[in-house]
Amino acid sequence: MRGRFEQFSVFISGIYRSIQKLEREEMVKYGLTGAYAQYLVTMSRFPEGITATELCEVCDKDKAAISRVIANMEKKGLVTRKGKNNTVYRALLFLTDEGKKAAGYVTERAKIAVEKAGSGLSDHDRQIFYSSLGLISSNLQKICKDGLPESC
């Protein structure tokens, strides 16, 4: 019988691998890697623009990763920068029409994936699941920040 740690880590790893595979398969249509899916969907929630610094925070990514993503998305005509001398971190980032189209596509595909993945869950089960997952995530972040205690 598997212990709780093994079961938890196997499930989380499997979910993460499946998400990455789906993102890769969907983003290839735009000549991008799967990692761009999260950025496109996030940016689409900020039609008034979002800075790279804010994107780092919202997506929980480091500045180097965001810089590479922005540069590549600008090259592909999906994102444009405006204001603050067009500096990478202070300028507002906007999706271009092509970027909005890609974000819309990814958002729709993600909705389908989430719906299919959660089939069989009642609304109540889903509410408990997300609440529990949020609590586990928060607790793990605290453990990472503070370190593991010597004993429980």
Per-residue pLDDT of the chain (152 residues; tens, 9 = 90+): 578 889 999 999 999 999 999 988 888 887 888 888 989 999 999 999 999 999 999 998 888 988 898 999 999 999 999 876 656 667 899 999 999 999 999 999 989 999 999 999 999 999 999 999 999 999 999 999 999 988 76
This prediction's pTM: 0.79
Helices (H) and strands (E) in the chain, counts: 6, 3
Token representation of residue 53? 């610094």
The pLDDT of residue 31 is: 80
